[in-house]
Structure 1
């Protein structure tokens, strides 16, 4: 059975470059036989967090949240694609993540960060690591930073620089290891 890995995009800006990164990673994951649906906050248009999914009476959550909860419960891992806004996590990403909790538990995450400049969004990634761990989906040790994203990937998500597919391969090898290991452990049961 294919591993399931939602790719959670973190930007809603009209000229967002992260969509290039998400498209690239979806192709890379699907080439490995994974199911890799895009979770796009621009398409979801979730309201600012007032009530988490779990705080709705059973069966009464908005349909968008029900669909995400079902996807997340099937997930074996998550890839989070984050820009860096003011040295931090984009608000749309934080809002999208904060609607859930238990659905993330015991699943690894992998952070792919990007920027128009040379640092590739790594300052946001450091804050995102703590956030993802608190949500119950700790990130794998490796990051995939994509500096100069507009030159590294075209609109369709095709790599324009040869280092990127190679780096993504190692990054996804690591995520695969963690996803398979934690899936096997979840099947044996979890501490709670």
Structure 2
């Protein structure tokens, strides 16, 4: 299967020191996947690589064939993958606005009927867990329900080095065992939903909202 790992931080400056802790956590997640789940693929989607206009215009708002190439390419990747890993810092007890902005550029039908995993981190002791609470609701609205196990990395600057390898005094196997509980759930649900999508087209069965918000209204 193919999973996309979204790094939802564009804060590439100091303070804080060291800058952009999410890169370390994301690299560690990728290393864990490659070492323990080598039969599956994982691809990094870095929000820093997607500079977006200040005037919000999502991918689905463009006329067919007129959307920017980088949005078209990402839309195709989202549609083709089997699940998502969402990596976010915590800002004011909420998920990264950069991550929310990037995800909101695409319709929920691209994400739906696939599982997701939540990974949060912080320089402090809570590991971004308060942001994770809000991320559950956000991801459920996209249709990529998050698995029950989550990953929180407190004091990420002392846990992982810049290359994602654990720092002296930290045990990589212990951390990867911790990651594994979440990733195992993600893979289990990914396999189940992929198989069922092959048997039953969920978009045809449920019906996507395509023409008007009034389609959501009760009679």
Q: Under TM normalisation by the shorter chain, which class is it? A: over 0.9
Q: Which residue of 21, 27, 31 maps to 1:27?
A: 31
Structure of greater Rg: 2
Aligned to 1:43: 49
Contact kept in structure 2, 1:159 and 1:165, CA below 8 Å: no
2 CA distance for matches of 1:184 and 1:74? 14
Q: 1:18 aligns with which of 14, 19, 22?
A: 22
In structure 2, the residue matched to 1:167 is 178
TM-score w.r.t. length of structure 1:
0.94
Equivalent residue for 2:6? 8
Query: Which aligned segments of 4 or more residues in structure 1 are displaced greater than 6 angstroms?
Result: none
Aligned to 2:73: 67
SS at match of 2:151: strand
Shift of the alpha carbon at 1:146?
A: 0.6
Specify the SS of the correspondent of 2:117.
strand
Deviation of 1:75 after TM superposition, in Å, equals 0.8
Structure-1 residue corresponding to 2:60: 54
Give the corresponding residue for 2:162: 155
Give the drift of 1:49.
6.0
Q: Which residue number in structure 1 is paired with residue 15 of structure 2? A: none
- For normalisation by structure 2, the TM-score amounts to 0.83
- Given that 1:114 and 1:149 are in contact with CA atoms closer than 8 Å, whether structure 2 keeps it comes out as yes
Instruction: Report how far residue 30 of structure 1 moved.
Output: 2.6
Instruction: Provide, for residues 1-43 of structure 1, a one-character-per-residue CA deviation record: whole Å limited to 9, x for no partner.
Output: xx11111011101111001111111122233122211111111
Any stretches of 5+ residues in structure 2 without a counterpart? 13-18, 208-219
Q: CA deviation at 1:110?
A: 0.2
**1:116 paired to 2:127:** no
Report the 3-state secondary structure (helix = DSSP H, G, I; strand = E; otherwise coil) of the residue aligned with 1:36. Answer: strand
Residue 106 (structure 2) aligned to one of 96, 100, 103: 100
Counterparts of 1:75-90 in structure 2 under 5 Å? 75-90=81-96
What number of residue pairs does the alignment pair up? Answer: 190
In 1, Cα distance between equivalents of 2:55 and 2:176: 36
Per the alignment, residue 217 of structure 2 pairs with none
* DSSP 3-state at the match of 1:140: coil
